[in-house]
Amino acid sequence: MKPPLGKLLLGLAALAMLASCASVGPPLPPSLELPKPPSDLGAQRKGDRVLLTWTVPSVTTDRQRMRRPGPTWICRGLDPILSQCGTPVGETSSLPNIVATKDAAGKKVSASYTDVLPAQLEVSTPRGFVTYAVEALNRNRRGAGLSNQVHVTTAPTLPPPEGFRAEVTKEGMELTWTQPSLPVKPVGAVAYRLRFYRRAEGSQASISLGEQDYATGVRDLAEAVSEGRKSGEEVLSSGEEQPRSASTGKFLDQSIEWEKTYYYRATVVTVVTEAGKLPAPVEGDDTPEVKVLAHDIFPPTVPSGLQAVFSGPGQQAFVDLIWAPVTDADLAGYNVYRHEPGSTPEKLNSDLVKAPAYRDMKVVKGGTYIYSVSAVDVRGNDSARSEESSESVP
């Protein structure tokens, strides 16, 4: 006998309720919405500015999606390890003031903050370091702790050289500047080098051309920092003031390509060397960029060693010319000139002579001929003519 339809439906409903009750677990505690601390904090120093970058937390400490982000504290201290932020040296907003960009995958968002090192800190601890961390907060200004920590040298940087300029020469681009010539009082293992950069017009990427020792002439380290800041801070000089003198520094860039436009700049690099540690270089501020066109107006080297030799007994007379080859990299060829005594030199060749030799077949018996040679580069710059060589045809 079949059960009534009503009882059957009631039984199925009861089973469904039992199954539903079996899947319910204990209630989850509410999320505290504490951002997971960043783990990729990085720091890059330029002059007295330290650029900090990190990934903005997207999840909470309990692995929930971050829905209510707050500001981020910027923490700085002299201890090797910071246990807490203390008084932040800066703060970023979660919305309008953070510099945010998506990575190539379109997921991660990065933030940045620029901190300015106090001049007093650089002078008092020229061989020391500061420690940075950030602490991400929620809207209630609560966080789960500090990010990873990074160290930045407090070595003082110097202002860029004055009068920086670039001038095209035959050998390449010559960079010059005015630099003081008096020595700075030594501070531990701190040294200074001048670094040069170049970028081509239309490109934002700069290449480093090299470095050389930088001779400074400020009275002492504190004065260098103070004058470089131009902030009006008190000059911390511990010695007597010395008169200033200056010299001109030079650097030659021989890797240019002619007829291209370049931008040049230079910066003083502070190098701190500690026993058993890698040197810690930090760049100061840059000179203003100098724009210059590498226009070639420079002719090749003047040919030398020209000799003229007659040949022709028993055959058509001619004069052979030979000279030392010009070794300029952009040499295109030579022009050959001839004249008789009392007349003006005239060019003999219609096309450039490629080899350092030429045969003059247009001579007559009894004539005396005076020859000279010039060198021409690929841009048509023609050198002065060589010393003359004469020959007579019997």
Residue pLDDT, tens place only, 298-348: 999 999 999 999 987 778 899 999 999 999 989 999 999 999 999 999 999
Phi first, then psi: what are they for 196, rounded to 5°?
A: -120, 140
Between CA 122 and CA 128 the distance in angstroms is 8
- In whole angstroms, give the CA distance from residue 109 to residue 92: 14
* Max avg pLDDT among 85-89, 121-125, 246-250: 85-89
Contact 263, 344 (CB under 8 A): no
- Within 13 Å, how many C-alpha atoms sit on residue 328's CB side? 24
Question: For residue 48, which of 122, 116, 138 has the smallest C-alpha distance?
Answer: 116
CATH 1.10.3720.10, domain 162-293, yes or no: no
Interacting residues of 227 by C-beta distance below 8 A, sequence separation 6+: 159, 218, 235
Higher pLDDT, 63 or 231: 63
Residues of the chain with CATH 2.60.40.10: 42-153, 162-293, 304-392
Which CATH architecture group holds 42-153? Answer: Sandwich (2.60)
pLDDT digits (tens, 9 = 90+) for 204-226: 999 999 999 886 544 444 454 55
Measured CA to CA in angstroms, residue 152 lies from 37, 41, 86, 357 at distances of 20, 12, 19, 65
Give the largest CA-CA distance in the chain: 147
Give the mean pLDDT of 225-251. 52
Strands (E), 154-303: 162-168, 173-180, 190-200, 207-213, 246-253, 261-272, 280-286, 290-293
- Rounded to two decimals, the pTM is 0.72
Residue 244: predicted pLDDT = 47
CATH class given for the domain over 304-392: mainly beta
Say how many Å lie between the first and final Cα of the chain, rounded.
Answer: 147
Read off the pLDDT band of 98 (50, 70, 90): very low
Q: At residue 117, does pLDDT exceed 70?
A: yes
Q: In the numeric block, which tokens belong to residue 368? A: 């005396």
Range with lowest mean pLDDT among 174-188, 275-289, 370-384: 174-188
The per-residue pLDDT for range 140-191, each reduced to its tens digit, is 999 999 999 999 998 888 889 999 999 999 999 999 998 765 444 545 577 8
C-alpha 367/C-alpha 238 separation (Å) is 84
| Residues 6 or more apart whose Cβ sits within 8 Å of residue 340 | 367, 368, 369, 370
